[in-house]
Structure 1
Amino acid sequence: MVGIDKGMDRRSFLATAGAALTSTALHAAVRKTRAVTGPAKADHTLRIAPTRLEIAPGVVIDTIAYNGQVPGPLLRLREGVPVTIDVTNNSPVPEIVHWHGLAIDSLNDGAVEEGSPMIPVGATHRYQFTPNPTGTRWYHTHAMAMDNLAAGAYTGQAGFLIVEGKKQAGHEGHYDQEINLAVRHWEPSFVPMVDMLREQSANVPQTNGSDVGYKYATMNAHMLGAGEPLRVKKGQRVLMRLLNASATENVVLALPGHTFKIIAMDGNVVPNPKSVEVLSLAVAERVDAIVEMNSPGVWVLGSTLEKSRQMGLGIVVEYAGQKGAPVWKDPAPVEWDYSIFANPTKAADPDETFVLTFRDNGHKMDSKFDVWTINNRSWPDIDPLVVQKGKRYRMVFRNGSGDQHPMHLHRHTFEVTQIGKTQLSGLMKDVINVMPLQSVAVDFVANNPGDTLMHCHQQLHMDYGFMQLIKYAG
């Protein structure tokens, strides 16, 4: 069943919901979710509800979260083993959960554009699917926020989802400790673009309209220096799973005195594991990295931007037997390059190519924010891309703007085949960050029939038109 009446687009739905949470218009817009079927008891349960977090002494955040925690509960699933997850919505607005990176059906994927139902206030919805593929996936809200910065991805609704199987993603033998770290930004506010340009940022903003700025940042539930440090021992191999669960902010991270051996991206084994001192995570990207603990001391794992660390974006790493103030050392400047983790060979030719140009189309809808377009069309007034099952398709992302765009494809994994003039193959992802004025090509095989959403994962861009559906012919 579809969660929104066909006559009401997602943007209009959120405007109605925000204006009158208890109105008859809201309840007309949200249809009843499917009845809970299958086993009487679900394999996992999640409760979406208001939550109060103390991210540092005296710093309290009121947000919406899963089971009262940020990140939400770690879900470990088995590849190919069907699972049921009951989600109860005790938040004040209709909600939905997207199972990011899984090749599942459109109804359970968790996007209203594909036909997934919204979960009404007070209702429980059962998601049923067979997890695939293995690797570091995650789950998060896929609700619109528009100009409500207390909704959607601006809240704490995100959690790790690990799919385990016989071919677990690239963990290269043993590791002594596993650490999952999710980046979050808190207390968002509207900031004119001209003000953003005056400050160094991990993002490169446009010069008109408004952007979103933040007051605090955390790794998991605490700001840098608050909460418990990561405790390690000399000689350990630590598997770090790093997730950028921010609504709009790309981040660059380092751990002085150490390197990250990147073995998987977005949960998928990289063809060419490499050790780097600095790693970049666009919104929604994940990295699996092995860190050799061979530099005893007390260190800061955090943002390479001083202002971001002052906001809280970091965590202390403490070796056994070591004490003292945590140390930060600026790494040497370096440009992030996806291609070093890929094969340097040309990918297979596609059956068809879609060239997609992204631009900012200025202010509309009486909003502080700009509307985004794909080939001069903006959601929902944009025709779908039509594909045929079994064929290989290339999407050429041409960024005609001054913003970075982390492009996400639902329900499929794509192969990165060209960045600028550099051809590559073998690098499989579900999010790719397209830099300002850059062109990036990705290929996917149409092997999972059903409506499929493609969009920029920055909440602000997605809300204001930066989405397009892919439909299977026939």
Structure 2
Amino acid sequence: MKRRDFLASAGVVLAGRTLKAMMPAQAAAQAAGKADHSLRIEPCSIEIAPGVTIKTTAFNGQVPGPLLKLREGVPVTIDVTNASNVADLTHWHGLAIDSLNDGAMEEGSPMIAPGKTHRYSFTPKPSGTRWYHTHAGAGDNLALGTYSGQFGFLLIEPKENPAPWDMEVNLAIHHWEGSFVPMVETMRAMSANVPQTNGSDVGYKYATINSHMLGAGEPIRVKQGQRVLMRLLNASATENVVLALPGHTFKVIAMDGNSVPAPKSVEVLSLAVAERVDAIVEMNAPGVWVLGSTLESSRKQGLGVVIEYAGRKGQPVWKDPKPADWDYTIFGLATPAPSAYKSIELTFRDIGPQKGSKFDTWTINNKAWPDADPVMLQEGRKYRLVLRNGSGDQHPIHLHRHTFEITSIGDKFTSGVRKDTVNIMPLDTVEVDFVADNPGDTLLHCHQQLHMDYGFMMLFKYA
């Protein structure tokens, strides 16, 4: 059964059960008056370049949605009104939150019917760069789910914030106007992920950073000597990206909102779907530059933004960086992580298109959602997930409601890098540790919408 079919058959029942369970708390929240923040899911049109207008669904009629700044440990209420014509819900990505408020139907979060408003109530933690987005299924409708413009930055401010930089810039990457790409050869040319699957994939016509294609919006204006904190988010539905800024390096200080133990300066950044990187850029190369994809074809789609120094004009310059492999472990410690209570092996494979579908079905330990067996956890125990990619695709694996620590990539041990999404390369194995410290149903899935909709999900349940 496909995720979309499951949503149709089980969503109403599940939403009814969860709404009944939470009615007292929900009624109390509504009685408390106006929410701290309000979001509205609604159709909108955005002009991403002169003469190029995208019709999509977004929050409050803008892409990205409103920047939400919350304080760590301070309870918050957020009203989300669904002004679209399909049921939807909002996921608070990267937060240690309860299952009902997490915004994933598979965990029991209620769907928001068209015309209705739902109040999310939670205490935000941990601090760092998080984000919010729809968690609805899309199936073969490439206008729904994360193919749409339903995403925004969610910054959880720490109790103490030293802010050792001069300027902050939030940059969200997205791809637009997806279409079916049926042939493998064409698919590889159109997708930055270089997929090796048998079925169709998704190719895109346009790409943006925030709401504009490269050169169409206002440049990011900087001054020589400034230290600029760039918060970068890959909010695409299926496309991983690699970025560079000629003449500059990125000092990576955090991944997925979590500080890295060994900050390093690199020439290129790799962001799989749903990943975030916080990096400080020293503005010490005056000129007009392109911050954009290392792929020329992606820059032509629009994936870039102009960086303009004060007093400098002219055409933005691009220079290809030296080839470099992305390696999470350089930002971690060389010491192995302590052993875990139990190892859980999860192998991912595609089994080709099923029942006339255009897309491959994906399995975890040979079973596709919703038939994938749940894994039982004991509260307080530390578990090691052995994530084996048995396919030719990259997979950004996301664990809801918890933060994990990368402990090995292939035969290379590491520790200290804490994330909520990790990209696993074809035929590679990555091990991560997490503590089962947040009881409730917990979803694990590939964050590529195409894979998630076609079976690539499973649940962890607490005993």
- TM-score scaled to structure 1, two decimals? 0.93
Which residue matches 2:117?
124
Q: 2:89 aligns with which of 96, 101, 105?
A: 96
Contact kept? 2:188, 2:194, Cα under 8 Å: no
Contact kept? 1:229, 1:317, Cα under 8 Å: yes
Contact kept? 1:36, 1:125, Cα under 8 Å: no
Distance in 2 of aligned mates of 1:262 and 1:194? 35
Q: Shift of residue 449 of structure 1?
A: 0.4
Q: 2:359 aligns with which of 342, 366, 369?
A: 369
Percent sequence identity is: 71
Contact kept? 2:354, 2:360, Cα under 8 Å: yes
Q: Shift of residue 15 of structure 1?
A: 5.5
Distance in 2 of aligned mates of 1:415 and 1:272? 14
Cα distance change of structure 1 residues 392 and 26 upon mapping to structure 2, 3 Å threshold: closer
Cα distance change of structure 1 residues 200 and 362 upon mapping to structure 2, 3 Å threshold: closer
Distance in 2 of aligned mates of 1:388 and 1:286? 30
Which residue matches 1:409?
399
Which residue matches 1:4?
none
Contact kept? 2:205, 2:301, Cα under 8 Å: yes
Distance in 2 of aligned mates of 1:367 and 1:36? 42
Which residue matches 1:199?
189
Q: Shift of residue 204 of structure 1?
A: 2.3
Q: Shift of residue 116 of structure 1?
A: 0.3
Distance in 2 of aligned mates of 1:196 and 1:268? 37
Contact kept? 2:2, 2:454, Cα under 8 Å: no
Which residue matches 1:20?
none
Q: Shift of residue 201 of structure 1?
A: 4.4
Which residue matches 1:335?
325
Letter in 1 for 2:146: A
2:296 aligned with 1:306 = yes
Letter in 1 for 2:375: L
2:55 aligned with 1:62 = yes
Stretch moving more, 352-361 or 186-195:
186-195
Which residue matches 1:5?
none
Distance in 1 of aligned mates of 2:376 and 2:160? 32
Aligned pair count reads 455
Q: 2:343 aligns with which of 342, 353, 361?
A: 353
2:33 aligned with 1:46 = no
Which residue matches 1:143?
136
2:113 aligned with 1:113 = no
Contact kept? 2:227, 2:283, Cα under 8 Å: yes
What pairs up with 1:275-286 in 2 under 5 angstroms? Answer: 275-286=265-276
Letter in 1 for 2:51: G
Contact kept? 2:187, 2:201, Cα under 8 Å: no
Distance in 2 of aligned mates of 1:392 and 1:400? 25
Which residue matches 2:173?
183
Deviations 1:100-128 (A, max 9, x none): 00001000000011000000000000000
Q: Shift of residue 284 of structure 1?
A: 0.1
Q: 1:134 aligns with which of 119, 127, 133?
A: 127
Q: 1:223 aligns with which of 213, 222, 229?
A: 213
Distance in 2 of aligned mates of 1:193 and 1:349? 44
Cα distance change of structure 1 residues 250 and 46 upon mapping to structure 2, 3 Å threshold: same
Q: 1:428 aligns with which of 400, 413, 418?
A: 418
Letter in 1 for 2:214: L
Distance in 1 of aligned mates of 2:112 and 2:27? 12
What pairs up with 1:24-39 in 2 under 5 angstroms? Answer: 31=16, 34=23, 35=26, 37-38=28-29, 39=32
2:65 aligned with 1:72 = yes
What pairs up with 1:2-17 in 2 under 5 angstroms? Answer: 10-14=3-7
Deviations 1:327-373 (A, max 9, x none): 00000000000000000100010100011110001111321001000
Query: Structure 2 regions of 5+ residues with no counterpart?
Result: none
Contact kept? 1:197, 1:207, Cα under 8 Å: no
SS in 2 for 1:84: strand
Q: Shift of residue 28 of structure 1?
A: 7.3
Deviations 1:206-250 (A, max 9, x none): 241000000000000000000100000000000000000000000
Cα distance change of structure 1 residues 103 and 29 upon mapping to structure 2, 3 Å threshold: closer
Q: Shift of residue 265 of structure 1?
A: 0.1
Which residue matches 2:199?
209
Q: 1:257 aligns with which of 247, 252, 257?
A: 247
Cα distance change of structure 1 residues 445 and 119 upon mapping to structure 2, 3 Å threshold: same
Query: Structure 1 regions of 5+ residues with no counterpart?
Result: 1-7, 17-24
Deviations 1:184-219 (A, max 9, x none): 000000001413355274302124100000000000
Q: Shift of residue 12 of structure 1?
A: 1.7
Q: 2:433 aligns with which of 440, 443, 447?
A: 443
2:382 aligned with 1:392 = yes
Stretch moving more, 365-374 or 463-472:
365-374
Cα distance change of structure 1 residues 113 and 30 upon mapping to structure 2, 3 Å threshold: closer
SS in 2 for 1:215: strand
Poorly superposed stretches of 4+, deviation over 2 Å? 8-11, 13-16, 25-39, 195-198
Distance in 2 of aligned mates of 1:54 and 1:454? 35
CA RMSD between the two structures = 1.7
Distance in 2 of aligned mates of 1:381 and 1:13? 11
Contact kept? 1:347, 1:424, Cα under 8 Å: yes
Letter in 2 for 1:440: V
Contact kept? 2:234, 2:276, Cα under 8 Å: yes
Q: 2:156 aligns with which of 156, 163, 171?
A: 163
What pairs up with 1:373-384 in 2 under 5 angstroms? Answer: 373-384=363-374
Deviations 1:301-329 (A, max 9, x none): 00000000000000000000000000000
SS in 2 for 1:93: coil
SS in 2 for 1:108: helix
Cα distance change of structure 1 residues 207 and 83 upon mapping to structure 2, 3 Å threshold: closer
Contact kept? 1:196, 1:205, Cα under 8 Å: no
SS in 2 for 1:178: strand
Distance in 1 of aligned mates of 2:368 and 2:188? 29
Cα distance change of structure 1 residues 413 and 30 upon mapping to structure 2, 3 Å threshold: closer
- TM-score scaled to structure 2, two decimals? 0.95
Contact kept? 2:76, 2:122, Cα under 8 Å: yes
Stretch moving more, 429-438 or 191-200:
191-200
Deviations 1:101-158 (A, max 9, x none): 0001000000011000000000000000000000000000000000010100000000
Q: Shift of residue 27 of structure 1?
A: 6.9
